[in-house]
Amino acid sequence: MFGALTQDCLEFLLQEGSIYQCEQGYTLFSPGEDSNYFYVVLNGRVGFSRAKGDQKIYIRSFKPGEQIGFVGMIGLHERRGFAVAEEPTYLLEISSALFHQVCEKFPSDFVVFLINITREMSREINHLDALCADLNTLEQ
């Protein structure tokens, strides 16, 4: 997530962002909540699930270096799932205001940051495409 960012930008993110230590089972967000921030997993693991009826359906785990919650923030929609610490976890919270400040103070780093996030999201989309192909194969 932070690959190729300058030291100044990294220090700014760490100083201005909020770092949280979460115990296993701690809920970071739930459906319907505002999406005005996202997290970068620094250490540990965060599970993501979505509700279907009265069940929580596990989607995936986010590991160190990955972000969770960016899609809701950038898409301007409320949270659509549950994010829960699967083990003791350290997170960096980046609010939409801080994200905008990075854009203003470190424009070159902001481009790199967006490329890093986009690259991660494209890998997720590729994985989802493979899952859809598998499901379509099972249905035939």
Q: Which residues pair with 92 in a beta bridge?
A: 19, 40
Structure confidence at residue 139 (pLDDT): 72
pLDDT tens per residue, range 73-85: 999 999 999 999 9
98: left (phi over 0), alpha (psi -120 to 50) or beta: alpha
Structure confidence at residue 45 (pLDDT): 98
Which regions in the chain score pLDDT beneath 70? none
Instruction: Please give the structure tokens belonging to residue 103.
Output: 């854009």
Asked whether 8 and 101 are in contact (CB, 8 A), the reply is no
Structure confidence at residue 138 (pLDDT): 83
- What pTM did the predictor assign? 0.91
